[in-house]
């Protein structure tokens, strides 16, 4: 500073400087405290509605929306009690009994954004579902699930008198139809689902009686309730577009199935509607978001399909959901999702107060603007941090083989650890999460039942440039070029590593990767950032052409129902830890490449967990996270932040809104807060 | 006396060379001269971008994310000594904005020819001197941000300098490429006529009938995504020059056609000039004015093309820095609402384009000294 040059003023300057420093330190301290409080102001207490299972508390008389009452009066609909059936699905609203009426406006980004509607408006229509903590499995569309035969057989009890949205009964026949004619049809489902199998052995679905479905497995399948509750292949009609779901409306879908309608007839129908095969037609007809005629069980049903500029959903008159006072849910008549060409537009509309409830696509970087416009837009901003460890993660492709030198380093644990130590997570958190995230490894939040312990958050996941450099030097990467970058051990120039990122996502992967590129300069690693679009990314991971891939691990807090960001589980991923390991895993060793011992151990533990009681499973889950954190197959950057769908903008006069909700694809958030209980206060 | 004064300039006109005439005429166009100076200035920035920048354009620092431009105090007391105040930054817990408070007790003097990051001046001489900077160079605890910083805390002024370098050289290279293409193809077309003419003219028509932005977008989207920044840079140059040549070729061809039968061309041929000599010594100089005008007027179009392509996310991509890239990073709600200074890179685009247009205007008038 200037005191060196201006000697006469030295003393005053120094004292001024001291004052400034003290003041500065004070400001920072005050700001830190304030920041902690500020975080609390937007992040509330986790809360949500509950499913009532106590028979004594189930309402006996039912009420319905006025327009439905009129239809009943006009003789166009059966009375409400008949429509709901004997066993309603009773939900205790979070705060109060609501009022009927109104429209819920939100936005979506096009036909690929189908999760948007599943999350808000499907009910959720899972057979079992999580309570609001996302931790405990509760009955949902099914009344109960009973384990028999040491976990080999499961009896699912349906609700008596429950109906599809066209008034036809929902029974065990819908499960048998799906299993026999959809799931087992090789044209519709070429590869069977892992969710209906234990240790690679497929189970069967049978009808026990009209309202009881029996699942039989060759081995104990203790995880089955979680599988029904999670966003898996058995998770209800949302996956109907790819012939999964666990059940389907037999009475309606049979007209598109060759077994019932005849091959000639379905081929003709497909041709008439310009589909290239009956399979395409069948899948399109079974699509919750695209076919307004499809009978559904969800609280709202599609009336204008997703491939139009306004995706509209209206109340299902046969909805089985009721509140504790016997009002048939949903309260809100209609959900209108308007097409927004890009994320900027969807955010602008939310800021302008044109949406009533929006969390999907809301950009954390715009949080100050959201807050600034709260009063003008008559909305309130909430933050829902996720429970998963990585809003951004970086996967090493352990199977990369185009360059043996790179492959060798990726398969060296200390190399991966050193790179992780070279990431300055605090900088990234402050810049891109506005300080709302938690820097650390990939492990989920401390309160998660599979969390191995608080020390694993920091393991190999703090900034330590010195140690990282020492580790890299020790590995034999000590030689550097004139610019300070490390040279390859095989003498072919600089060690250059590529990272693949996707643009236009909830998290700004490209920009963050650029920041990491700067940070890795300090450990002599030359990172090349390549932004690609999604389909190219998928193609390249599958072709084993990816080196590093950036993504998030949302859903990984439900380790067993959402494992694809924990270890190589799915081929179709934008970032992969090893496509050959995926093949090895799913073919039971017949294809692909055998993983290294610790990865193999991790995979085996995961598999084993499905067939053991919960207590044992929790231990296995902890072991899996321990291995993941120790081996750093995936670098965790910043997590447990609200970056992915956790910035929630809700109108002030909408009721039953939780101050914080469990944010996860498995919870179909906001589905876990039961949007059917949201209502307009005035 | 009066006679001498009246006659002398006229005689000067008669004996002056064509270039002299052009220069005299150009000087009269005040706006063009001023624009010429501005353009010159821009190209000085191109040459000395790293000298004019005082911070590494890629170095990011979260603690100074989205800093507004600093106020520069020019006088320290009565003495000339520009300085800026130090600052304290923290995130406001209520609004989640980063708030920076100037600390008047800390003065950060701006030094000329200060030490900074290392670079090669003109790509040759390794040095650490920069036009401005602070004491202590890279290790200084406080530094300056004349135009503020972006989200990642990178200095906007320095990024703008580097962006200018890339955006303006792309324009220059693009124009050179289209100039060569235009004169050669247009010349061939006009001089030989017949089938050559037909093929070239129809190609031009097809190219010109396609709307430019979608065509550029298509071509730019076809660039392999795994190309390095340098490859993309050259590919973009070629893409935008691919259309630029057509207009020039048309003009050149028309001139050739008109002039082919002119007396001076015919006589040149009759005295035995080769085709090449006829073209370059006798014909080209007579429509030089058009070539110069077309070239200078094409430059701003090229700059705008690069900027709009990058703005649409199809041209250059980060970590490359160009005006378009800088603007692309500013095209979001939060920039308009909380960090409007990030839109500053639009200013040099406007100034450069206008300067080139005026300069081109002046040059066109000047290059045709017998015109009007």
The larger pLDDT score, comparing residue A383 to residue A590, is at A383
Decide if B318 and A514 are in contact by the 8 Å CB cutoff.
yes
Chain A and chain B share a number of CB contacts under 8 A equal to 116
Residues 351-380 of A with CB under 8 A from B: 351, 363, 365-369, 371-372
Question: Is the pLDDT reported for residue A664 higher than 80?
Answer: yes
d(CA B302, CA B167): 9
| Cβ of residue A38 closer than 8 Å to a chain B Cβ | yes
Tokens matching residue A423: 């990431």
Percentage of residues of chain B with pLDDT beyond 90: 7
What would the 3-class secondary structure string for chain B be? Answer: CHHHHHHHHHHHHHHCCHHHHHHHHHHHCHHHHHHHHHHHHHHHHHHCHHHHCCCCCCCCCHHHCCCCCCCCEEEECCEEEEEEEEEEEEECCCCCCEEEEEEEEEEEECEEEEEEEEEEECCCEEEEEEEEECCCHHHCCCCCCCCCECCCCCEHHHHHHHHHHHHHHHHHHHHHHHHHHHHHHHHHHHHHCHHHHHHHHHHHHHHHHCCHHHHHHHHHHCCCCCCCHHHHHHHHHHHHHHHHHHHHHHHHHHHHHHHHCCHHHHHHHHCCCCHHHHHHHHHHHHHHHHHHHHHHHHHHHHHHHHHHHHHCCCCCCCCCCCHHHHHHCCCCHHHHHHCHHHHCCHHHHHHHHHHHHHHHHHHHHHHCCCCC
CB distance A403 to A544 below 8 Å: no
CB atoms within 10 A of CB A462: 17
Q: What strands lie across the sheet with B79-91, from one edge to the other? A: B73-76, B79-91, B98-109
> Chain A contacts of B225, Cβ < 8 Å?
530-533, 536
pLDDT value at position A16?
54
Residues 550-589 of A with CB under 8 A from B: none
pLDDT value at position B215?
76
Mean pLDDT of A18-23: 55
Tokens matching residue A452: 């191995």
Question: Is the pLDDT reported for residue A267 higher than 90?
Answer: yes
- Residue A6 confidence class, pLDDT cut points 50, 70, 90: very low
Residue with tokens 């990024």: B159
Strands A197-198 and A548-551: unpaired
Task: Please tell me the CATH code under which domain A392-639 is placed.
Answer: 3.10.105.10
The larger pLDDT score, comparing residue A290 to residue B62, is at A290
pLDDT value at position A590?
86
User: What average pLDDT does chain A have?
Assistant: 90
Q: Which of A34, A363, A518 sits opposite B60 (nearest CB)?
A: A518
CB distance A486 to A524 below 8 Å: yes
Min Cα separation B209/chain A (Å):
28
Q: Is A99 helix (H, G, I), strand (E, B) or coil?
A: coil
Question: What is the per-residue pLDDT across A226-264, written as a single tens digit (0 to 9) for each?
Answer: 999 998 889 889 899 989 999 999 999 999 999 999 999
Question: Is the pLDDT reported for residue B349 higher than 80?
Answer: yes
* Conformational region of residue A236, where left means phi above 0, alpha means psi within -120 to 50, and beta covers everything else: left
> Chain B contacts of A16, Cβ < 8 Å?
105
> Chain A contacts of B333, Cβ < 8 Å?
344, 347-348, 351, 366, 369
- Residue A35 confidence class, pLDDT cut points 50, 70, 90: very low
Min Cα separation B61/chain A (Å):
7
A424: nearest Cα among A470, A392, A455, A465: A465
Min Cα separation A179/chain B (Å):
43
A600: nearest Cα among A571, A624, A618: A624
| Cβ of residue A434 closer than 8 Å to a chain B Cβ | yes
Decide if A518 and B59 are in contact by the 8 Å CB cutoff.
yes
Per the CATH hierarchy, to which homologous superfamily does domain A43-52+61-123+298-384+645-682 belong? Periplasmic binding protein-like II (3.40.190.10)
pLDDT value at position B1?
44
d(CA B26, CA B14): 17
Decide if B93 and A19 are in contact by the 8 Å CB cutoff.
no
| Cβ of residue A536 closer than 8 Å to a chain B Cβ | yes
Q: What strands lie across the sheet with A526-532, from one edge to the other? A: A438-439, A634-639, A392-396, A548-551, A496-502, A526-532
* Conformational region of residue A167, where left means phi above 0, alpha means psi within -120 to 50, and beta covers everything else: left
Helix (H) or strand (E) holding A650: strand A647-651
pLDDT value at position A147?
94
d(CA B304, CA B240): 10
Buried b (16+ CB within 10 A) or exposed e, A567-603: bbbeeebbbbbbbbbbbbbbeeeeebbebeeebbebb
d(CA A631, CA A601): 12
Residue B334: partners with Cβ closer than 8 Å, 6 or more residues away? A365, A366, A368, A369
Q: Which of B141, B151, B332 sits opposite A344 (nearest CB)?
A: B332
- Residue A19 confidence class, pLDDT cut points 50, 70, 90: low
What is the Cβ-side half-sphere exposure of residue B322, based on CA atoms within 13 angstroms? Answer: 31
pLDDT value at position B13?
67
Interface residues from chain B to A (CB-CB < 8 Å) = 58-63, 65, 86, 88, 90-97, 103, 105-107, 109, 135-136, 141-142, 151-153, 225-226, 313, 317-319, 331-334, 337-338
Residue A111: partners with Cβ closer than 8 Å, 6 or more residues away? A289, A290, A306, A307
Decide if B313 and A1 are in contact by the 8 Å CB cutoff.
no
- Residue extents of the structural domains in chain A: 43-52+61-123+298-384+645-682, 126-293, 392-639
Question: Is the pLDDT reported for residue B372 higher than 70?
Answer: no
Helix (H) or strand (E) holding A515: helix A509-521
CB atoms within 10 A of CB A674: 27
pLDDT value at position B137?
65
Q: Which of A32, A342, A363, A515 to mutate to test the interface with B (most CBs of B within 10 A)?
A: A515
Concatenate the DSSP letters of all residues of A375-415 into one string. TTTTEEEEE---SSS-SEEEEE-TT--SSHHHHHHHT-HHH
Question: Is the pLDDT reported for residue A626 higher than 80?
Answer: yes
CB distance A541 to A502 below 8 Å: no
> Chain A contacts of B331, Cβ < 8 Å?
344
Handedness of CA B345, B349, B355, B358 (dihedral sign): negative
Question: What is the per-residue pLDDT across A392-442, written as a single tens digit (0 to 9) for each?
Answer: 999 999 999 999 999 999 999 999 999 999 999 999 999 999 989 999 999
Domains and CATH numbers, chain B: 71-144 (no CATH), 158-367 (1.10.3720.10)
d(CA B214, CA A15): 63
**Which class is domain A126-293?**
alpha beta
In the beta sheet, which residues pair with residue A90?
A52, A322
CB atoms within 10 A of CB A666: 27
Q: Which of B79, B83, B85, B96 to mutate to test the interface with A (most CBs of A within 10 A)?
A: B96
Decide if B109 and A2 are in contact by the 8 Å CB cutoff.
yes
CB atoms within 10 A of CB B5: 8
CB atoms within 10 A of CB A138: 15
Q: Which of A27, A515, A533 sits opposite B152 (nearest CB)?
A: A515
B197: nearest Cα among B182, B206, B187: B187
| Cβ of residue A514 closer than 8 Å to a chain B Cβ | yes
pLDDT value at position B138?
65
Question: What is the per-residue pLDDT across A445-495, written as a single tens digit (0 to 9) for each?
Answer: 998 999 999 999 999 999 999 999 999 999 999 999 988 899 999 988 899
Task: Give the CA dihedral B52, B55, B57, B60, nearest 10 degrees.
Answer: -170
Two domains, one topology: A43-52+61-123+298-384+645-682 and A392-639: no
Whole-prediction pTM: 0.82
User: What average pLDDT does chain B have?
Assistant: 82
Question: What is the per-residue pLDDT across A291-303, written as a single tens digit (0 to 9) for each?
Answer: 999 999 999 999 9
Decide if A529 and B319 are in contact by the 8 Å CB cutoff.
yes
d(CA A87, CA B346): 65
Q: Which of A310-319, A388-397, A540-549, B331-340 has the least mean pLDDT?
A: B331-340
Question: What is the per-residue pLDDT across A329-354, written as a single tens digit (0 to 9) for each?
Answer: 999 999 999 999 888 899 999 999 99
| Cβ of residue A24 closer than 8 Å to a chain B Cβ | yes
pLDDT value at position A185?
94
Mean pLDDT of A269-276: 93
The larger pLDDT score, comparing residue A512 to residue B313, is at A512
Helix (H) or strand (E) holding A40: helix A10-42
- Residue B79 confidence class, pLDDT cut points 50, 70, 90: confident
């Amino acid at each position: 500073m200037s005191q060196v040059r201006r000697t006469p003023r030295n003393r005053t300057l120094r004292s001024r400087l001291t004052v400034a420093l003290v003041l500065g330190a004070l400001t920072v301290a005050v700001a830190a405290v304030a920041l902690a409080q500020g975080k609390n102001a937007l992040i509330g207490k986790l809360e949500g509605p509950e499913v009532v299972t106590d028979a004594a508390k189930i309402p006996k008389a039912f009420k319905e929306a006025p327009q439905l009452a009129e239809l009943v009066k006009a003789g166009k609909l059966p009375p409400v009690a008949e429509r709901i059936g004997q066993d309603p699905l009773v939900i205790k609203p979070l705060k109060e009994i609501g009022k009927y009426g109104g429209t819920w406006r939100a936005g979506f980004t096009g036909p690929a954004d189908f999760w948007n509607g599943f999350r808000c408006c499907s009910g959720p229509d899972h057979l079992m579902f999580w309570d609001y903590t996302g931790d405990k499995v509760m009955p949902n569309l099914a009344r109960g699930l009973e384990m028999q035969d040491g976990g080999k057989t499961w009896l699912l009890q349906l609700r008596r008198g429950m109906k599809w949205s066209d008034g036809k009964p929902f029974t065990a026949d819908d499960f048998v139809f799906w299993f026999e004619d959809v799931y087992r049809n090789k044209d519709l489902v070429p590869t069977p689902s892992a969710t209906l199998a234990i240790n690679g052995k497929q189970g069967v679905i049978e009808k026990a009686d009209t309202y009881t479905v029996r699942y039989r497995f060759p081995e104990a399948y203790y995880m089955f309730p979680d599988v029904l509750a999670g966003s898996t292949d058995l998770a209800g009609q949302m996956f109907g577009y790819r012939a999964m779901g666990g059940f389907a409306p037999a009475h309606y879908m049979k007209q598109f199935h060759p077994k019932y309608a005849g091959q000639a007839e379905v081929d003709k129908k497909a041709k008439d509607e310009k589909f290239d095969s009956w399979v395409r037609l069948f899948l399109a007809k079974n699509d919750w978001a695209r076919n307004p005629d499809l009978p559904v069980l969800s609280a709202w049903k599609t009336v204008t399909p997703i491939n139009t500029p306004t995706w509209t959903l209206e109340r299902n008159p046969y909805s089985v959901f009721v509140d504790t006072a016997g009002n048939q849910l949903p309260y809100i008549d209609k959900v209108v999702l308007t097409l927004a060409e890009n994320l900027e537009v969807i955010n602008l509309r939310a800021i302008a107060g044109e949406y009533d409830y929006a969390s999907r696509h809301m950009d954390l970087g715009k949080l100050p603007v959201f807050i600034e416009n709260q009063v003008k837009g008559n909305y309130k901003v909430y933050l829902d941090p996720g429970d998963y460890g990585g809003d951004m993660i970086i996967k090493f492709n352990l199977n990369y083989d185009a360059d043996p030198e790179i492959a060798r380093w990726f398969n060296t644990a200390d190399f991966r650890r050193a790179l992780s130590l070279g990431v300055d997570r605090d900088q990234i958190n402050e810049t891109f999460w506005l300080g709302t995230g938690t820097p650390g490894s990939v492990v989920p939040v401390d309160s998660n039942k599979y969390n191995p312990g608080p020390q694993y958050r920091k393991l190999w996941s703090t900034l330590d440039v010195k140690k990282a450099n020492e580790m890299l030097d020790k590995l034999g990467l000590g030689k550097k070029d004139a610019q300070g970058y490390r040279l390859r051990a095989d003498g072919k120039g600089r060690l250059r590593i590529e990272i693949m990122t996707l643009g236009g996502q909830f998290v700004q992967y490209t920009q963050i990767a650029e920041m990491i590129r700067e940070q890795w300069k300090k450990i002599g690693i030359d990172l090349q950032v390549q932004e690609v679009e999604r389909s190219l990314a998928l193609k390249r991971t599958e072709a084993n052409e990816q080196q590093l891939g950036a993504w998030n691990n949302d859903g990984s807090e439900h380790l067993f129902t959402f494992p694809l960001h924990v270890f190589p589980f799915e081929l179709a991923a934008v970032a992969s830890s090893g496509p050959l390991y995926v093949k090895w895993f799913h073919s039971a060793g017949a294809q692909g490449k055998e993983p290294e011992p610790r990865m193999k151990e991790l995979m085996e533990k995961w598999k084993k967990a499905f067939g053991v009681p919960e207590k044992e499973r929790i231990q296995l889950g902890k072991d899996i996270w321990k291995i993941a954190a120790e081996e750093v197959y995936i670098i965790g950057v910043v997590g447990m932040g609200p970056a992915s769908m956790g910035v929630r903008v809700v109108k002030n006069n909408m009721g039953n809104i939780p101050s914080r909700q469990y944010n996860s694809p498995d919870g179909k958030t906001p589905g876990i807060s039961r949007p059917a209980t949201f209502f307009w206060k005035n | 006396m009066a006679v001498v004064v009246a006659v002398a300039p006229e005689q000067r006109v008669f004996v002056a060379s064509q270039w002299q005439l052009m220069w005299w005429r150009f000087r009269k166009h005040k706006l063009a001269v001023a624009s010429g100076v501005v353009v010159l200035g821009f190209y000085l920035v191109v040459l000395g971008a790293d000298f004019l920048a005082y911070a590494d354009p890629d170095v990011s620092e979260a603690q100074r994310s989205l800093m507004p431009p600093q106020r520069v105090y020019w006088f320290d007391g009565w003495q000339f000594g520009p300085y800026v105040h130090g600052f304290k930054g923290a995130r406001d817990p209520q609004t989640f904005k980063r708030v920076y408070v100037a600390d008047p007790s800390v003065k950060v003097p701006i030094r000329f020819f200060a030490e900074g990051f290392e670079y090669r001046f003109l790509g040759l001489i390794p040095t650490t001197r920069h036009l401005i900077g602070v004491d202590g160079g890279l290790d200084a605890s406080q530094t300056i941000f004349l135009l503020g910083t972006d989200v990642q805390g990178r200095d906007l002024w320095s990024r703008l300098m580097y962006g200018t370098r890339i955006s303006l050289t792309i324009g220059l290279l693009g124009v050179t490429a289209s100039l060569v293409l235009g004169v050669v193809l247009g010349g061939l077309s006009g001089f030989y006529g017949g089938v050559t003419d037909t093929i070239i003219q129809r190609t031009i028509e097809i190219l010109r009938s396609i709307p430019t932005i979608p065509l550029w977008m298509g071509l730019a989207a076809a660039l392999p995504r795994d190309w390095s920044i340098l490859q993309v840079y050259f590919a973009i140059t070629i893409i935008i020059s691919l259309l630029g040549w057509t207009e020039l070729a048309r003009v050149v061809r028309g001139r050739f056609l008109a002039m082919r039968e002119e007396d001076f061309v015919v006589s040149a041929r009759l005295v035995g000039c080769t085709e090449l000599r006829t073209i370059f010594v006798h014909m080209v100089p007579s429509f030089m004015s058009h070539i110069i005008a077309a070239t200078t007027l094409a430059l701003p179009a090229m700059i705008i093309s690069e900027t709009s392509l990058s703005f649409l996310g199809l041209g250059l991509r980060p970590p490359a820095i160009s005006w378009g890239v800088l603007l692309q990073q500013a095209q979001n709600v939060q920039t308009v609402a909380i960090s409007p200074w990030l839109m500053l890179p639009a200013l040099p685009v406007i100034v450069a384009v206008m300067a080139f247009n005026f300069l081109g205007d002046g040059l066109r008038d000047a290059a045709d000294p017998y015109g009007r």
